Amino acid sequence: MLRKINRLFLVVISCFLFTNCDSNAVFDTYKSVPNQWHKDSIATFNFKAPDTSNSYNLYVNLRNTDAYKFSNLFLIVEMNYPNGKVVKDTLEYKMAAPNGELLGTGFSDLKENKLWFKGYKEPFVFNEEGDYTVNIQHAMRSNGVVNGVENLQGITDIGFRVEQAQK
């Protein structure tokens, strides 16, 4: 009897793992934000170029709670290439609907957002082999205030994802 239960447990766990695996993901990692995201705090992600012949989609992933009080989000995302080239982008993402409801997926007050970084307009190809580094920093400002928001509330995790583009 115990042997059957163990076997059933293994089958259930195996099914769970197989259905949750994402075959398109090449790199997918999150960093936790303790309490608030300070304006000088940079989330850094290091990964190897998957290859130089296929196209990829690159995403900034965020998890946020209803403590996030803005309708948008400004990020500075910097990609460092293996040969020393650096590409820095200031990006804006919509985080809430006009009625104030937070966008993203999730059933509780925790929402997950998959935000395009590269690959949405034209295919992104890693044209250099080697190690890449992506740095993500918030650049939020309150209306009418010159200095940026020092401590951004409501962001719990910052992630970066590389997935093979669908052909």
> Per residue in 31-58, pLDDT tens?
999 889 999 999 999 999 999 999 999 9
- 24-164: CATH number: 2.60.120
Q: Per-residue confidence at 1, pLDDT binned at 50, 70, 90?
A: low
**Hey, what are 108's tokens?**
């509780």
| pTM for this prediction | 0.83
Q: Judge whether 78 and 127 are in contact, CB under 8 Å.
A: no
* pLDDT for residue 3: 46
* Residue boundaries of the structural domains of the chain: 24-164
- Of 165, 139, 143, 151, nearest to 23 by C-alpha is 165
Shortest CA distance to 114 belongs to which of 142, 130, 135, 94?
A: 94
In the chain, % of residues over pLDDT 70: 86
Angle at 146 between CA 142 and CA 149, to 5 degrees: 45
Confidence tier at 154 by pLDDT (50, 70, 90): very high
DSSP code of residue 84: S
